Chain A
């Protein structure tokens, strides 16, 4: 599959669509599936020879080259044993729901992050007790009194969620947490429930997935109890949705690129037209240069459309102009690190999540760092090795990178070549105590841009969160702009499609 020469560009029939989407990142793909399901005619193009755009998973050599898209895919090459996600995250909650609703789950296989999450606390990694049984079974690291308060808190939340689900209006359920408490900062509520600091960190950063330090007043993002409990509800409702993925977090086999493809396939089944290796060379605007009428493809063909949706990597001057002044100071960044390591961070578990609460590594650490370890059973790296993706939101590039590096130092031993050769005996003696060795690592910082909606829609870039919630939210918002009266991926769309497993995407 060498790069196709320019004159090979196919001609697209028809030349007019309801929606033209450029880029096959997750929000674009979800939108494509949603629009197609809503009965719109969709043309979905991507300049790359692969699916996923910023959300794709690429083989390691492609990742290492300065521009992933310039490296041809080598489908049968040995290097494809290692797949690098350009960003990484777990899936839970609504993404799972959406997949089930759209029937996308037929196309992806999931594995759960089966080892429990680990919390980095006072220089050590502790398992995160996230259920009644987990609390019971953890005799080694949890104190007895911690067990009682933590479980009592879980019960409180469970009762609240159950009462909220039943939603008996007027009947004031005593199980519910009072409105007053719901408006409290979550951290204050946890203190009120007598959770000791370590348990607060568990709930805040490993379960409710707060990013920024919740213990300071000047914090930008202080979670309220309401928000915290929503996340916990999501967490608990995500458990055991897929047959071979029992825990709250799941991860798709063969990398995250698979996820966008699953949605693309759903769109294709609903009649969307897909063309890869097809960049857009120009926008067709109306005379006042206000509304976009269509796009000119690299092939030279003009496609007319009512709605054009662009990948965030496209910089369109007229789009950037209005948002310039007000949003620039809110520009968010996320520092990411990718490591390939020699053995699992925790024995006997392959795929797991590691959480460093704020200030756990150093005083300056303002946000939680999260790491996801994936193993070869997800077909992302060779057997015996593990990939760890780390990320943290940051204000500037250098502190972000420093945080990630600190985390890497805390988790792994530096690559020491002589220990492999000279002191082999020594290392094999107390192998269990040794930290995993880093085989390869890289650290980079990515900017986050939000999706914009006008006549020309632009999708958001991957953000700092662990899951896809906010990305799916913005996709949903974009969808309502396009189709104000349609349901976003209605449930029935899955049933129609259930038996058709043929791959008609390309």
Chain B
């Protein structure tokens, strides 16, 4: 039930509660005893009913009843007797649900009974009961779950169920469950292309209109906004996943120096090694990239066993970003150019979370120039640590080596046909929400911002730059307003603002170039350098535009997370000093960057809080992984306090850094920390500006 104020308990209530508890404990003990002794007599089952009548949450009692039911029903042969046994069991569930209409155990028990298919079910009665329940509490999601179960069980057409959700919304539109079920049913109907549901555009236009009625009636009610969010997501993103960026990009020319295998350990491996990474970046998380779904063709000799790995912190198997390493085995000594062809045909293997498959075939080629160069370009040749001086003037990049940026113009043509409707629809919505009279509606502002960004995204495919920037500017203003209006969700708005800011800075060549340069290091190939400092960024976005970056300066922002950087498989130098990083778990994405050599973490908040809250924010923090336990044992042997430094251990052991700066963090002042880092990173040369040796 919703909207009921909580009242303080009275003393007599407490007495009753303790009496109830005593009775419950007694009953529970008896039921458990019967359960262990496998006593399935009438009296024993009766006891379990008594327990469930008071406490429908007693899972064991439900399980006991299942066993008892199965045991007893086996002995029955008369269909009438079986039916009455089923009915008795159903009645128990009803009694329990009357006590608590949201009891998981009770609802599950009912579903279980029905799935046994022991007796013909009176579905009219089931739907009748459900109607009654939903009349009392129209939002009870257990009831809605059960309704979906029944509908599937009986084969009720989705159209009928869709009508039912409309009835409930007409009764009271403040019904999350009804809106939610509507989104599920509509998705099904549209996928199945049922009669009347052939045109996604028509259906969605109608749905937009419907939900707008609710939003404008009561902007403070959230249920409609959630549905609108779903509609927006369906409208603004293409139906099928698309490849939006790659490294190397199309027609790129790379140079790769071959380093003799045996040298690798001594030279700390160089920026260009025998292994050439290929990174593919999709517009939405996909899975299913493998040797057959991605074709690689080349006159190079490479290890044919290609493994595509998702670059993500989550274990779901879905990722925006996928990478593989070409292990080049050529033994050539002369200067030579090889081409590599990458093609992604339409594939049923590659699917998005919503189940749609990859259907925008892409084909591109890049060239690799192999340089036989035995003079290693490793960092070990540097005689001083790499400096991150912000005021340092960058050597002009000129036209010498155009930054391979935005060269993958593969998707624009394919999306074009649908874009018109999408854009018109979104523009209409924007005009509407600009008129929303409730000036202080957080959801109104947030939705407007999302609509603007969706428009900007569509415009990016159409390449209307000024319009796109206009949308971004307005969205930025809205997020800034929201940060003040709704301080409890400040961090979310800041993150969203950071994304818009990143988009704005990187969306066109001209703006982006102000932050890009090519740096020439002594004894090393020129580095693609990007500097995004003092922008109040709290998170990283649009990593697909940074895939080519080798040196990245993100210092003096407010970064709380570096998620997204894992896509930068080329990154060797990273500066995230003077940010808000609060733990090593927040840095987990960096462990995916094999090429990372220089890391500046100084003046963050690592170790400032004894409790690592990012653990709950990160999609899959270190702590969820088991494989590390062996490593811990190993480190315990060399006297490292594993309890205290578990996250530092997991972080540093996967990095091959040559230079680390970590001063200005609480953790750095801890005893033994320096020793710990030395033990964990064998190849470290510079630590906080000092030569380790």
Contact = CB atoms under 8 A, between A and B. Distances in A.
A and B associate: yes
Contact of B216 (A137, A144, A155, A194): A144
B438 interface: yes
A151 interface: yes
A133 B213 contact: no
A322 B206 CA distance: 69
B432 A133 contact: no
A146 to B, nearest CB: 9
B220 to A, nearest CB: 8
A149 B213 contact: no
Contact of A144 (B170, B171, B435): B435
B213 A148 contact: no
A135 interface: yes
Interface string A132-170: 110111010000110111011001000000000000000
Interface string B138-178: 00000000000000000000000000000000111100000
Contact of B218 (A132, A137, A139): A132
Contacts of B252: none
Contacts of A194: 437
A151 B215 CA distance: 11
B173 A144 contact: no
B101 to A, nearest CB: 23
Contacts of A135: 217
Contacts of B213: 136-137, 139, 144, 147
A148 B217 contact: yes
17 contacts: A132-B172, A133-B172, A133-B173, A136-B213, A136-B214, A137-B213, A139-B213, A144-B212, A145-B436, A148-B216, A148-B219, A148-B436, A148-B438, A151-B217, A152-B437, A152-B438, A155-B218
B198 interface: no
Nearest 10 interchain pairs by C-beta:
A144-B216, A147-B216, A136-B217, A148-B437, A135-B217, A147-B217, A148-B216, A151-B217, A136-B173, A139-B213
Given A137-B170, A139-B209, A144-B212, A149 B217 contact: no
Nearest to B212: A144
Contacts of A148: 216-217, 219, 436-438
Contacts of A147: 213, 216-217
A155 B218 CA distance: 9
A297 B217 CA distance: 62
Interface of A: 132-133, 135-137, 139, 144-145, 147-149, 151-152, 155, 194
A152 B216 CA distance: 10
Given A144-B213, A147-B213, A133 B438 contact: no
A333 B172 CA distance: 43
B136 to A, nearest CB: 16
B219 to A, nearest CB: 6
Given A136-B213, A139-B213, A144-B213, A149 B218 contact: no
A148 B438 CA distance: 7
Which of the four size classes fits the interface of chain B? 10 to 19
A193 to B, nearest CB: 11
A273 to B, nearest CB: 48
A148 B435 CA distance: 10
B218 A151 contact: yes
Interface in B168-227: 170-173, 209-210, 212-214, 216-219
Contacts of A139: 209-210, 213
A145 B438 CA distance: 9
A267 B435 CA distance: 59
Interface of B: 170-173, 209-210, 212-214, 216-219, 432, 435-438
A131 to B, nearest CB: 10
A137 B219 CA distance: 15
A447 B436 CA distance: 49
A139 B213 CA distance: 7
A299 to B, nearest CB: 58
Nearest to A135: B217
A194 B437 CA distance: 10
A312 B213 CA distance: 51
Given A136-B173, A144-B432, A149-B437, 16 more contacts: A132-B218, A133-B170, A133-B173, A135-B217, A136-B213, A139-B209, A144-B212, A144-B216, A145-B436, A147-B213, A148-B436, A148-B437, A148-B438, A151-B217, A151-B218, A194-B437
Contacts of B212: 144
B227 to A, nearest CB: 13
A148 B437 CA distance: 7
A151 B214 CA distance: 11
A6 to B, nearest CB: 61
Nearest to B220: A155
B380 to A, nearest CB: 67
A155 B438 CA distance: 13
A63 to B, nearest CB: 41
B435 A133 contact: no
Nearest to B170: A137
A421 B216 CA distance: 49
Contacts of A152: 437-438
A447 B212 CA distance: 50
Contact of A145 (B209, B214, B218, B437): B437
A133 B171 contact: yes
- Give the most central of A136, A139, A147, A149: most B CB within 10 Å: A136
Contacts of B214: 136
Contacts of B435: 144-145
A73 B209 CA distance: 57
B453 to A, nearest CB: 22
A49 B432 CA distance: 64
Contacts of B438: 148, 152
A149 B437 CA distance: 7
Contacts of A149: 437
Nearest to B172: A133
B345 to A, nearest CB: 46
A144 B224 CA distance: 14
Contacts of A145: 216, 435-437
B277 to A, nearest CB: 52
Contacts of B432: 144
A155 B174 CA distance: 15
Nearest to B433: A144
A353 B466 CA distance: 55
- Give the most central of B212, B213, B216, B437: most A CB within 10 Å: B216
Nearest to B224: A136
Contacts of B171: 133
B595 to A, nearest CB: 54
A133 B168 CA distance: 11
B290 to A, nearest CB: 50
A145 B210 CA distance: 15
A157 B351 CA distance: 52
A350 B278 CA distance: 72
- Give the most central of A133, A135, A144: most B CB within 10 Å: A144
A194 B438 CA distance: 11
Contacts of B209: 139
Nearest to A139: B213
Contacts of A151: 217-218
B108 to A, nearest CB: 34
Contacts of B436: 145, 148
